[in-house]
Structure 1
Amino acid sequence: MNIEEFRECCLAKKHVTESFPFDQQTLVFKVANKMFALAGLEHHPSTVNLKCDPEKAIELRAQYVDIIEGYHMNKKHWNTITIEGSVPNKLIIELIDHSYNLVVKSLTKKLQKELGFI
């Protein structure tokens, strides 16, 4: 998967915005103003950060050399993934969905309802 395909997957989700809040090299994707994905545009091969359930994060890191603890992120809740590496595209899409869903579930019930998630 390349960075543009990653971007398209993120933007296809409901209520997602993209911005450069930190610098011009780090593209951030948010749902309801909460980050669920970051993409480092200066890295080749491309790397991204995705939120992940802590137990699942440990399993993924053990299984794939291209999934490591979140770079510049909370190591317990974020993974850094080389998307142009050994991780299958199908799994990357599943991990985007997983990250997005974790953030949506963390929103207040009121906000989830307002945005049409429940």
Structure 2
Amino acid sequence: MKLKDFKKFCLSFNGTSEDYPFDDNNILAINVMDEVFAITDTDNFESIEIKCDPVKAAMLRDLYEEVQPAAYMDKRHWNTIYLNEDLDDELIKEWIKDSYSLVVDSLARKKQKKLEKMED
């Protein structure tokens, strides 16, 4: 997966935006309704961090050596995915979509309703 493909896929979901929230201007956060669901380093695009259900996060870490606990986020809920040719882009996209869905499900009901209106 290339950086431009990652950004294009993440921003294809409703209510998404990109942000550089840290002093380090190469750390890109992809948000849905101002809540982060994916993070990467744009200067060194070797991995992405995505939110994950805690049980699934542990399972994925056991199944794939490229999936590790996130370095800077809550390790129970966030995984770092190391990008290489061994992982299929479609699988990574599925995990990104899951991350987006988890964050949407955790949004305040008011934000969820606003997001639903964007879909119409």
Judge same fold: TM > 0.5, yes or no. Answer: yes
Aligned match of 2:14: 14
* CA–CA separation in structure 1 for the residues paired with 2:60 and 2:86: 12
1:4 aligns with 2:9: no
Post-superposition Cα deviations, 1:19-47, rounded to whole Å, max 9, x if no partner, equal 11112121000001000000112335x21
Question: For the aligned residues, what is the CA RMSD?
Answer: 1.6
**Once the two structures are superposed, what CA deviation does each residue of 1:38-71 show, in whole Å capped at 9, x if it has no partner?**
0112335x21100000010011111111110011
Find out whether 1:58 has 2:58 as its counterpart.
Answer: yes
**Residue 37 of structure 2: SS of its match in structure 1?**
strand
1:85: Cα distance to partner?
4.1
Equivalenced residue count is 117
Query: Which AA in structure 2 matches 1:26?
Result: I
SS in 2 for 1:14: coil
Q: What is the CA distance between 1:90 and its match in structure 2?
A: 1.1
| Corresponding residue for residue 40 of structure 1 | 41
Distance 2:40 2:107 in 1: 23
Structure 1: tracts of 5 or more residues without a match: none
Moved more, 107-116 or 25-34: 107-116
Q: Is the 8 A contact 1:19 1:29 kept in 2?
A: yes
Q: How does 1:19-98 map to 2 (within 5 A)?
A: 19-22=19-22, 23-43=24-44, 46-98=46-98
Q: TM-score if structure 2 supplies the norm length?
A: 0.90
Deviation at 1:110, TM superposition (A): 2.3
The separation in 1 between residues aligned to 2:77 and 2:86, in whole angstroms, is 21
Deviation of 1:86 (Å):
2.0
For 1:68-115, what per-residue CA distance to the aligned partner results, in whole angstroms no more than 9, with x for missing partners?
A: 001111100000011234221111000110000000000122221122
- The gaps in structure 2 that reach 5 residues or longer are none
Give the 3-state SS of the residue equivalent to 2:43 in structure 1.
Answer: coil
* Separation of aligned partners in 1, 2:73 and 2:111: 25
How far off its partner does 1:4 sit?
1.4
Counterpart CA distance in 1 for 2:30 and 2:11 is 8
